Each structure stands twice: as C-alpha cells, then as structure tokens.
Structure 1
C-alpha cells in the first residue's frame, strides 16, 4: 500500500507539474499531510512535507528539463537571470517554514492556491501586456519557429525572488506563479515559459532543499519512495506537453487547485 501511495503521488504530481511548469508540490504536500497518516501510518508535519516535497522536485524538474532540452524549449539565458534571486529566495522561504504553525500554514496555503487557480483561469482570457521591455529576446524552437518577447532586469529579478520564496515556503516549486507571470507580463510563448520555469525550479529546489535538510525537515525514506515515479512523471509530462493540447488537463488542475484551497482554508479556520 505504501509503495502504491508513493508511486501514484509521485507520478501524478510530476506529470501534471512538468506539463504546465508548476513543479508538482501542490499535490505532494497535501497528499503527505492528509493521506500520510492513513496510508503511511505516521503523522507528517507540515515542515517535513514541504521539505520532502522540495527535495522530490529536484528529480521532477531534472527529468522534465532534460526532456525539454532535447525539444529545444529552454531559454537558458533568461532562466539564469531568474535564478539569481530565485535561488536565494528559495533558501529564505525554506528557512521561514519553521516559524509557520500548521493552522497558519493551512490558511495561507489555501488562500495562495485559490489565487493561483484564479490566475490559471484568467490566463486564457488575459492578453499579454503590451510593454516595450528594454531587453528583447528571440528564441527559435525545435520546429524552427522564432518567438519574440522581452523583460526588464529589475522586474525579472523581483519575480524570481517572489517565486523563490513561495517555492521554499510552500514546497510547490513556484511555477504556478512563474508561468502566468512570464506569459502575461513578459509575453513568453506558453511552452517556452513552461520549459524555462522547470529549469529554474530545478536549480532553486536544490538550494531550498539544502536549507530544509539543515533544519531536519527532509524525510529521506519518503524522498526515495517518491523520486523514481517523479523522474518518470517529469519525463512523461514534458512529452505530453510537446504532443497534446493541455486545455483539458489544465481544467483538471484548476479544479484540483480549488478543491485543495477550500479544504485547507476550512481546516485552517476550524483548527484548534
């Protein structure tokens, strides 16, 4: 039962996470906190769930990044720029986790997920902002199509910092904030944003995991249980993203976000 739990959670989280550039922690953290006591047989603290999730994201993001790399969808130049602040932000967010109690975490996590679900819905209706960014980029993908977009250094660094803090604090990778920001504000093509997001998540997850590890908030046995299927899921999600429309899966993800958000907000409010 424990093996099936790890396999199902790791595969589902990594596949959906890499498909849209989220990372997958949004599934791992609630699964460990709520289902862990029943299916694993022990209570899992919020801090341990977050730290373990972030460690598993290393494997998910590595697998999907390598797959996206073969498809020539990763914009490394802008990815390294985001990482300048995203990496330290992940360490800061990871450090702050120890000061957040379960009730506060559940409530804030639920509100955050509700906001992310709204962003994902609005993503289909909001046109990218028409801003004449100082830095302009062109990127040619594997199909030979050239895409044009741009960004400002300061704005990119600010977004990177915000994503890093969210990633370390909630253990979810931060792509749920990253991808909409890249698409709506900087006019990235969605598939370039998704692939580049996973590259940045890979790097920042390593830094955030070291902080959680130093605080004793990473369960190695759970990481070993989740990592194999997360590697497969990271590869599978990237493959699906290159061949199929993600519209239906995006709606599944939006509904999941809302359900998780409602449950965590309710438990955060009613917890003693």
Structure 2
C-alpha cells in the first residue's frame, strides 16, 4: 500500500515531469529515474532491482506524457512529423538493444553512464546556436534513421525518452529551430520509449525479488499515478514553450540536465550534499 508521503512525491513528480516534457521536449526520465530509485530503495529493494524497475517504469510514463506533449505542439504547427517518424522507428530498435544491456549490467555503471549522457547533452545544446529559421532543412531519410539508433540505445539503457540526447542532435546536427526540435522530440520519444518498455517488461518476467504487483520491470500502479498528473501538465508545458524565446529554453535545458547529471554521477555526494 502506498503511503501519503509516497503518493505526494509521485504526484509532484508527475506534474514536474509533464511540464518539462511539454516545455523542453524531454521525457522527464532524468527526473523520474533518480526519484523512483530513491523511493524503491527506501522500501528495501536491492539497488540493481530498484534501478531496473525505475528505468522501466520511467519509460512507461514517458509514452503517454510525450503523446500529450506532441498533441499540444501539433496544434501550434511545430511538429516535423517526417523527422519524428523516421527517428522514432530506428530509435525503437535502438531502445530494445539499450534495454537488453541495462537488464544485464550492474547498477553503478548505468547510473554513471546516465549522468554523463545528461551532462554532455545539456552542454551541447547551450554551446550550439542552432537555427532561428522556422522552415525545416532538407535532410535525407537515411540520416534520420541512422541518428535514431544511438538515441534509442541511450533511451533504453538510461530509462529516458531520449530527448536529452535528441534535442542537441536536432539543433546542432539537423539545424532545427529550438521550438521545432522540442516539438519533434516528443514524437520520437513515444516510439523509443515503447521499444524500451517492451524490453524491460519481458526481461523482468520471472525475476525473483521484485514486488508482487509489478509486471517484469514495470510498476503499473506507480506509472499510472505519475502519468495521471504528467499528461495534463505536458499540455501546459507545450503552451509555455511557445511563449518563451529559444534562448530561455536552452538555458532551462542546461540547468536541469546539469543538476541531474551531476547528481547521478555522485558529485553532490562527494561534496557532502544530499539533494
């Protein structure tokens, strides 16, 4: 049974994740994973199982949250559907590979990998000016397909939608305007997260030590509670995104990824700080 304090944490997490997903084009896994890891660990679940459950459940929440954000951005005419579909298809296959790796690796290296990826993505986004043009550059289909694979692998391995890696790719490699990148990222995350969820669900079946209410490495109850608040919040986030300048979006992306990345690789712990 979920206690009141536990429930409040999940609800607040959903509100924050949904808002950031719609506003910055990220799945919110970089927030959900450490929070869920802390919650599961607090119940006495072994670290390896807690991390994999947090990764799988995070991806399950990202699917409806990203879909909600995509709808909001589509209403603004910002989604580049061709790019989102091609990146998403190859990203789904990459997510399967990443999910398989994560279910067989120990927790610590996955956490460090997760933190480094988030840090690198944030720095890359703020360091690249990107385009301010609303029109979409002409990109061959194969380039989208090629770049979708590593985005998917990171999504499955780190339990994120892939937005923290995809936003820098869309802005610096494909030269998308920031609002376009944010909007298109939400579409890709739906596909990548779906591939990851299937892998965590199947890979966790029959594993001893998991809570009885889970399905593989997916916690349906926790996913439902977070998604129930993140879905409407993503709509609000997509509205906010189109009311602020690209530069502000970039700075917000950097601050969030910087904090979470440093937290996951243990910098705050080394400094004696417990976030």
Q: Secondary structure at the match of 1:151?
A: coil
2:79 is aligned to: 74
Which residue of 187, 190, 201 corresponds with 1:202?
190
The alpha carbon displacement at 1:156 in A equals: 1.7
Instruction: Tell me the number of residue pairs that the alignment of Structure 1 and Structure 2 aligns.
Output: 250
Distance 2:141 2:183 in 1: 20
Query: 1:166-245 residue pairs with structure 2 within 5 A?
Result: 166-215=154-203, 216-245=216-245
Residue 13 of structure 1 is aligned with which of 7, 14, 17? 17
Residue in structure 1 matched with residue 57 of structure 2 by the alignment: 52
Selected match of 1:108 from 108, 113, 123: 113
Q: How far off is 1:106 after superposition?
A: 1.8
Q: Which residue of 1 aligns with 2:36?
A: 32
Contact 1:52 1:219 (8 Å CA) reproduced:
yes
- C-alpha change, 1:6 and 1:251, in structure 2 (3 Å) is same
Quick check: 1:14–1:237 contact (8 Å CA) kept in 2? yes
Whether contact under 8 Å (2:88, 2:187) holds in the other structure is no
2:60, 2:14 → 1: CA distance? 12
Give the whole-Å Cα distance in 2 for the aligned partners of 1:158 and 1:220: 32
**In 1, Cα distance between the equivalents of 2:192 and 2:136?**
26
TM-score by length of 2: 0.83
C-alpha distance in 1 between matches for 2:41 and 2:100? 25
- Identify unmatched segments of 5+ residues in structure 2: 204-215, 271-275
Deviation at 1:212, TM superposition (A): 1.2
Correspondence 1:92 to 2:97: yes
Report the 3-state secondary structure (helix = DSSP H, G, I; strand = E; otherwise coil) of the residue aligned with 2:266.
Answer: helix
Q: Which residue of 2 aligns with 1:261?
A: 261
Structure 1: runs of 5 or more not aligned: 129-144
Q: Does 1:151 align with 2:139?
A: yes
In structure 2, distance between residues paired with 1:240 and 1:248: 11
Whole-angstrom CA distance in 2 between matches of 1:111 and 1:180: 14
Name the CA distance, whole Å, in 1 between partners of 2:22 and 2:77.
15
Could you list the per-position Cα deviations for residues 53-89 of structure 1 after superposition, in whole angstroms to 9, with x for gaps in the alignment? 0000011111111111222211112222212311111
TM-score of the superposition, structure 1-length normalised?
Answer: 0.84
Please say if 1:251 is aligned against 2:251: yes
